[in-house]
Structure 1
Amino acid sequence: MARGMNPGAPVLTRRGFLVASVGAGVGASLAFGFPRGAAAAMDPAVPGGMPPAEAGPLFEPTLWFAIDGEGWVSINIIRAEMGQHVGTALARILADELGADWDKVRILHVDTDPKWGLMVTGGSWSVWQSFPLFSRAGAAGRIALIEQGAKRLGVDPSACRVENGTVVAGGASLTFGEIARQGVPVRRFSADELEKLPIKPASERRLVGRPVQALDIPPKTDGTARYGIDAKVPGMVYARPKIPPTRNGAKVNGVDDSAAKAVKGYVGSLVLDDPSGTVPGWVMVIAQSYPAAIRAADLVRVDWTPGPTSAVSEKDIQDHAAQLIAQPDAGAVLDTGGGDTAAAFKAAQSTLEQTYTTATVLHFQLEPVNALAFEKDGVFEIHTGNQWQSLILPTLAKALGRPETGIILRTYLIGGGFGRRLNGDYAVPAALAAKALAKPVKMVLTREDDARFDSPRSPSVQRLRMAFGAGGEVTAMEHDAAAGWPSQVMTPSLMPKGANGVLYDPFSISGADHWYSVGAQKVRAISNDLANAAFRPGWLRSVGPGWTNWALESFMDEAAHHAKEDPVAFRLKLLDAKGRNAGSAPNAVGGALRQAEVVRRAAARAGWGAPLPADTALGLATSFGQERTMPTWIACVARVHVDRPTGAVRVEKLTLVADAGTVVDPDGARAQVEGAALWGLSMALHEGTVFERGQVKDTNLNSYMPLRISDIPQMDTGFVDSIEVPVGLGEPATTVVGPAIGNAIFNAVGARLRHIPITPDAVRSAIG
Structure 2
Amino acid sequence: MARIQSYGESGRLLTRRGFLVTTAGASAAFGFSDAAHAAIDLAAPGSAASLAAGQLFEPTLWFSIDGKGIVTVNIIRAEMGQHVGTALARILADELEADWDKVRIVHVDTDPKWGVMVTGGSWSVWQTWPIFSRAGAAGRMTLIEKGAKLLGVSPSICTARGGAVIAGKQTISYADIVRRGGVLRRFTPEELGKLPIKPASQRRLIGRAVAALDIPAKINGAARYGIDAKTPGMVYARPKLPPTRNGSKVISVDDSQAHGVKGYIRSIALDDPSDTVPGWVMVIAETYPAAIRAADLVTVNWTPGPGADVSEKDILDHAARQIADADGGALLDTGGGDTEAAFRAAKSTIEQTYTTATVLHFQLEPVNALAFEKDGVFEIHTGNQWQSLILPTLAKALQRPQTSIVMRTYLIGGGFGRRLNGDYAVPAALAAKALGRPVKMVLTRADDARFDSVRSPSVQTLRMAFAEDGRVSAMEHHAAAGWPTQVMAADSLPKGQNGAPYDPFAISGADHWYDVGAQKVRAISNDLANSTFRPGWLRSVGSGWINWALESFMDEAAHHVGVDPVAFRLKLLNGTGRNAGSAPNSVGGAKRQAEVVRRTAERAGWGATLPQDSGLGIATSFGQERNMPTWIACAARVRVDRATGAVTVEKLTIVADAGTIVDPDGARAQTEGAALWGLSMALHEGTAFQNGRVKDTNLNSYTPLRIGDVPEMDISFIDSAETPVGLGEPATTVIAPAIANAIFTAVGVRLRHIPITPEAVSAAMAAGK
TM-score (norm 2): 0.92
Contact 1:61 1:186 in 2 (8 A): no
Change over 3 Å in CA distance of 1:82–1:596 after alignment to 2: same
1:650 to 644, 648, 656: 648
What displacement does 1:180 show? 1.4
Identify the residue that residue 509 of structure 2 maps to in structure 1. 511
- Counterpart of 2:352, as a letter, is Q
2:28 maps to none
Match of residue 222 from structure 1: 220
Give SS of 1:597's match: helix
Aligned to 1:372, which of 361, 370, 373? 370
Gaps of 5+ in 1: 1-53
Which residue matches 2:384? Answer: 386
Amino acid of the structure 2 residue aligned with 1:113: D
2:657 to 656, 659, 666: 659
Task: Deviation per CA, 1:266-293: give whole Å up to 9, x if none.
Answer: 0100010000010000000000011111
Do the aligned residues in 1 keep the contact of 2:248 with 2:303 (CA within 8 Å)? yes
Deviation, structure 1 residue 190: 5.7
Retained in 2: the 8 A contact 1:467–1:475? yes
In 2, Cα distance between equivalents of 1:192 and 1:297: 60
Of 303, 319, 322, the residue aligned with 2:320 is: 322
Aligned partner of 1:42 in structure 2 is: none
| Distance (Å, rounded) in 2 between the aligned partners of 1:481 and 1:191 | 42
Cα deviation, 1:84-116, whole Å, max 9, x if unaligned, reads 000000000000000000000010100111111
Which residue of the partner structure matches residue 93 of structure 1? 91
Larger mean CA deviation between 54-63 and 403-412 belongs to 54-63
Cα distance in 2 between the residues matched to 1:185 and 1:378: 39
Task: Give the drift of 1:493.
Answer: 1.4
- The counterpart of 2:620, out of the listed 613, 619, 622, is 622
The alpha-carbon deviation at position 186 of structure 1 amounts to 5.2
- Separation in structure 2 between the aligned mates of residue 628 and residue 265 of structure 1, nearest angstrom: 55
Q: Distance in 2 between matches of 1:526 and 1:495?
A: 13
Partners of 2:55 and 2:561 lie apart in 1 by: 70
Residues 1:338 and 2:345 aligned together: no
Matched residues in 2 for 1:119 and 1:184: separation? 33
Structure 1 residues 187 and 291: alpha-carbon distance in aligned structure 2, compared to 1, 3 A threshold:
farther
Equivalent pair of 1:59/1:186 in contact (CA under 8 Å): no
Q: Which of 422, 447, 450 is 1:449 aligned to?
A: 447
Partners of 2:387 and 2:188 lie apart in 1 by 25
The letter for the 1-side match of 2:367 is V
Aligned to 1:253: 251
2:9 equivalent in structure 1: none
Q: What's the counterpart of residue 537 of structure 1?
A: 535
CA distance in structure 1 between the aligned counterparts of 2:215 and 2:711, rounded to whole angstroms: 26
Is the contact made by 1:321 and 1:461 (CA closer than 8 Å) also made in structure 2? yes
2:419 maps to 421
Residue 185 of structure 1, CA deviation: 5.3
C-alpha separation in 2, matches of 1:181 and 1:383: 36
SS at match of 1:62: coil
Does structure 2 retain, via aligned residues, the 8 Å contact 1:61–1:187?
A: no
**Aligned twin of 1:678:** 676
Matched residues in 2 for 1:516 and 1:730: separation? 23
Report the residue type matching 2:671 in the other structure. Answer: V
Percent identity reads: 78
Q: Distance in 2 between matches of 1:553 and 1:295?
A: 48
For 2:69, the aligned partner's letter is G
Q: 1: distance between equivalents of 2:153 and 2:159?
A: 12
Is the CA contact 1:124–1:730 (under 8 Å) kept in the aligned structure 2? yes
Deviation for aligned residue 1:188:
5.8
**Residue from 709, 712, 717 that aligns with 2:710:** 712
Q: Deviations over 1:419-470 (max 9, x none)?
A: 0000000000111111111111100000000000000000000000000111
1:196 is displaced (CA, Å) by: 2.4
SS, match of residue 180 in structure 2: coil
Q: CA deviation at 1:187?
A: 3.9
Q: Is the 8 A contact 1:509 1:525 kept in 2?
A: yes
Other structure's SS at 2:728 match:
coil
2:169 and 2:560 mapped to 1: Cα distance? 72
Measured after TM superposition, the shift of residue 192 of structure 1 is 4.6
8 Å contact 2:98–2:162 — kept in the other structure?
A: yes
Q: Distance in 1 between matches of 2:536 and 2:628?
A: 21
- Report the counterpart of residue 202 of structure 1 in structure 2: 200
State the match for 1:293 in structure 2.
291
> What pairs up with 1:153-552 in 2 under 5 angstroms?
153-184=151-182, 187=185, 189=187, 191-552=189-550
The equivalences for 1:566-645 within 5 A come to 566-645=564-643
The Cα shift of 1:676 comes to 0.2
Distance 1:192 1:80, change over 3 A: farther
Partners in 2 of 1:626 and 1:518 — Cα distance?
A: 19
- For the 8 Å contact 2:146–2:183, the answer to whether it is kept is no
Cα displacement (A) at 1:214: 0.4
- Deviation, 1:194, is 2.8
Q: Give the match's secondary structure for 2:512.
A: coil
| Structure 1 ranges of 4+ moved more than 3 A | 183-193
Q: Does the 8 Å contact 1:488/1:505 carry over to 2?
A: yes
* Aligned-partner residue type, residue 550 of structure 1: W
Q: After TM superposition, give the deviation of residue 161 of structure 1 in Å.
A: 1.2
User: Per-residue deviation at 1:76?
Assistant: 0.5
Change (3 A) 1:242 1:55: farther
SS at match of 1:146: helix
Deviations 1:291-346 (A, max 9, x none): 11111111111000000210000000000000000000100000000200000000
Aligned residues: 715
The amino acid across from 1:339 in the alignment is G
CA–CA distance in structure 1, aligned partners of residues 389 and 361 of structure 2: 19
**Secondary structure in 1 matching 2:59:** strand
Is residue 344–residue 475 contact of structure 1 (8 Å, CA) maintained in 2? yes
Letter of the 1:172 counterpart: Q
Higher mean alpha-carbon deviation, 187-196 vs 130-139, is at 187-196
1:699 to 673, 697, 700: 697
1:58 to 56, 59, 62: 56
Classify the secondary structure of the residue corresponding to 2:353: strand
In 1, the alpha carbon distance for the partners of 2:108 and 2:148 equals 32
Corresponding residue of 2:734: 736
Distance (Å, rounded) in 1 between the aligned partners of 2:196 and 2:258: 65
Distance 1:176 1:62 in 2: 16
The separation in 2 between residues aligned to 1:278 and 1:57, in whole angstroms, is: 46
Q: Distance in 2 between matches of 1:765 and 1:515?
A: 35
Change in Cα spacing, 1:390 to 1:364, as seen in structure 2 (3 Å) is: same
The residue matched to 2:58 in structure 1 has which SS?
A: strand
Q: Give the secondary-structure state (helix, strand or coil) at the position aligned to 2:132.
A: helix
State the distance in 2 between where 1:529 and 1:183 align.
61
Give the secondary-structure state (helix, strand or coil) at the position aligned to 2:129.
Answer: helix
CA deviations 1:389-423 (Å, max 9, x no partner) are 11001101111111111011100000000000000
Q: Residue 25 of structure 1 corresponds to which residue in structure 2?
A: none
SS of the residue corresponding to residue 181 of structure 1 reads: helix
Match in the other structure for 2:39: none
**Counterpart-to-counterpart distance in 1, 2:737 and 2:348:** 24
Q: Distance in 2 between matches of 1:363 and 1:740?
A: 22
Rounded to whole Å, the distance in 2 between the matches of 1:191 and 1:117 is 17
Unaligned regions of 5+ residues in structure 2, if any?
1-51
Match of 1:6 in 2: none
Report the Cα distance in structure 1 between the residues aligned to 2:185 and 2:677, rounded to whole angstroms: 47
Name the TM-score, length of structure 1 as normaliser. Answer: 0.92
> Which digits, 9 at most, give the CA deviation of each residue in 1:490-522, with x for residues without a partner?
011111100001000001000011000001000
AA partner of residue 475 (structure 2): M
Q: Give the distance between the partners of 2:482 and 2:189, measured in 1 at CA.
A: 38
